[in-house]
Amino acid sequence: MLRVSGHSERTDVGRQRQANEDSYLARSPLFVVADGMGGAQAGEVASLTAIQAFQGGMPDGNPEVAIERMIATANRNIHEQAHSDPSLAGMGTTITVAAVDSEAERVVIGHVGDSRAYRLRDGIIQRLTKDHSLVEEMRRRGQITEEQAEDHPQRSIITRALGPEPEVQADLQSVDADPGDIFLLCSDGLTTMIGDDRIREILMGATSLDAAARTLVDEANRAGGRDNITVIVFQVEDPSNPIPRGEQPTMVRSGASARAARHQAGPGRGPRRGRVVAGILAALAVLLILAGGLFFATRQAWFLGTDPAGRVALYQGLPYELPFGIDLYRLKYSSAVQTDSLPEQRQRAVTDHTLRSEDDATSLIEDIESSEGLTG
């Protein structure tokens, strides 16, 4: 079994638009984001009409079939309205729907257009929907790169929407859900302003789902807020093992590991404090390992280089400098051979700073010296 442990949603006009044409619905376990488009108020009408088709909540029966039907209904309602009212002609909207299927421990997702769904699990964010947009199609055909797609001037042109046609093809899928997973639905006003990595960071760092939703919108505005921004975040839990309320959402580990961890938690120690102490200890351990590794490496590693006089030289340590002029290497020996007098291949062995054992490095420098007729 699985259920929604909490959700938070937020919509914002952004910094540059006069009106908010996005609409959303949160009727847990059903969540919908719609991003309308059209002249005058038509975009608002389209997105609002779309979500109205979901207002009754999830009906019984197969959730995938139900979502597909509700999307078809939304499309038909918008299409008919656009035809009966000239001021609404040509209006359309995206739609992204997510419904938690408790029994099957899955989330059913339906979408049309470029509003997206994401899942954050164990620190990894995954985009669950494929944009129905011109730019995404060009990217999939290999005509443009991922980077070019990100700031393509035509990235807001969508190739599928609710409203323009009497019938619409929605993408439907079921994704598995583990306790602790966080899902995000959003309009493109978020994703054209901030990248997936940043979205992940915000979700990971947020102290609550409310804080996550708020920060996502704030960051999109800070990045320019060129479009309306709508976000819905929700988290799922195992009803027999609920997520402690007031806990930072991403501190909750998913699935079996979370259950195991909770069973092991000792008495008389608050989970948060225990976790902080564990965190500090883990950080100290990592630092010790790093420092130890660095010390070991600076003793064990050798490399050839060129000394300040341009001669082939033997160094102990790592070929790096830390800030504040701290070198991780020491000059152990300078030969009489000028690096730039060596044949090209030999020069490379001296300048590429390959790490070697002491024996290797010593024999290489001896080899160089003997080939230059300096020693025998």
Task: Pick the stretch among 1-9, 165-173, 219-227, 248-256 that binds Ca ion (CB under 5 A).
Answer: 219-227
Is the peptide bond preceding residue 29 cis, with omega within 30 degrees of 0?
A: yes
CB of 9 to Ca ion, least distance (A): 16
What is the separation of C-alpha 102 from the centre of its chain, rounded to a whole number of angstroms? Answer: 25
CB of 221 to Ca ion, least distance (A): 14
Is the CB of 5 or the CB of 133 nearer to Ca ion?
A: 133
Residue 227 interacts with Ca ion (CB under 5 A): yes or no:
yes
Instruction: Give yes or no for a contact between 74 and 162, defined as CB atoms under 8 angstroms apart.
Output: yes
Residue 12 interacts with Ca ion (CB under 5 A): yes or no:
no
- Paired strand residues for 26: 31
Is the CB of 106 or the CB of 152 nearer to Ca ion?
A: 152
Task: Pick the stretch among 39-47, 220-228, 260-268, 335-343 that binds Ca ion (CB under 5 A).
Answer: 220-228
Is the CB of 29 or the CB of 43 nearer to Ca ion?
A: 43
CB of 34 to Ca ion, least distance (A): 10
Is the CB of 228 or the CB of 254 nearer to Ca ion?
A: 228
How far apart, in whole angstroms, are the C-alpha atoms of residue 246 and residue 259?
Answer: 18
Q: At what angle do helices 42-52 and 63-84 cross, to 10 degrees?
A: 150
Is the CB of 44 or the CB of 188 nearer to Ca ion?
A: 188
How far apart, in whole angstroms, are the C-alpha atoms of residue 361 and residue 339?
Answer: 15
Task: Pick the stretch among 97-105, 187-195, 325-333, 363-371 that binds Ca ion (CB under 5 A).
Answer: 187-195
CB of 177 to Ca ion, least distance (A): 27
Among 9, 44, 181, 188, which residue sits at the site for Ca ion (rule: CB under 5 A)? 188
DSSP string of 171-227, one letter each residue: EEEEEE--TT-EEEEE-HHHHTTS-HHHHHHHHHH-SSHHHHHHHHHHHHHHTT--S
Is the CB of 227 or the CB of 237 nearer to Ca ion?
A: 227
Task: Pick the stretch among 29-37, 131-139, 283-291, 297-305 that binds Ca ion (CB under 5 A).
Answer: 29-37
Residue 103's nearest CA partner among 28, 176, 54 is: 176
Alpha-carbon dihedral 249, 255, 256, 260, rounded to 10 degrees? 20
Is the CB of 13 or the CB of 328 nearer to Ca ion?
A: 13
What is the residue type of 353? H
Q: Tokens 């919509």, residue?
A: 11
CB of 197 to Ca ion, least distance (A): 21
Is the CB of 12 or the CB of 181 nearer to Ca ion?
A: 12
Kindly report the number of other CB atoms within 10 A of residue 246's CB atom. 8
How far apart, in whole angstroms, are the C-alpha atoms of residue 150 and residue 141?
Answer: 15
Q: Tokens 């291949």, residue?
A: 345
Residue 219 interacts with Ca ion (CB under 5 A): yes or no:
no
Both tokens assigned to 137: 């199609």
How far apart, in whole angstroms, are the C-alpha atoms of residue 31 and residue 205?
Answer: 23
Is the CB of 41 or the CB of 351 nearer to Ca ion?
A: 41
Q: Tokens 């920060």, residue?
A: 215
Task: Pick the stretch among 32-40, 279-287, 343-351, 354-362 that binds Ca ion (CB under 5 A).
Answer: 32-40
How far apart, in whole angstroms, are the C-alpha atoms of residue 126 and residue 196?
Answer: 9
Total number of residues binding Ca ion (CB under 5 A)?
4
Query: What 3-state DSSP class applies to 61?
Result: coil
CB of 189 to Ca ion, least distance (A): 5
What is the residue type of 22? D
Task: Pick the stretch among 62-70, 186-194, 198-206, 308-316 that binds Ca ion (CB under 5 A).
Answer: 186-194
Among 7, 14, 33, 35, which residue sits at the site for Ca ion (rule: CB under 5 A)? 35
CB of 316 to Ca ion, least distance (A): 59
Both tokens assigned to 48: 């609002």
Task: Pick the stretch among 8-16, 33-41, 73-81, 304-312 that binds Ca ion (CB under 5 A).
Answer: 33-41
Residues that bind Ca ion (CB under 5 A): 35, 188-189, 227
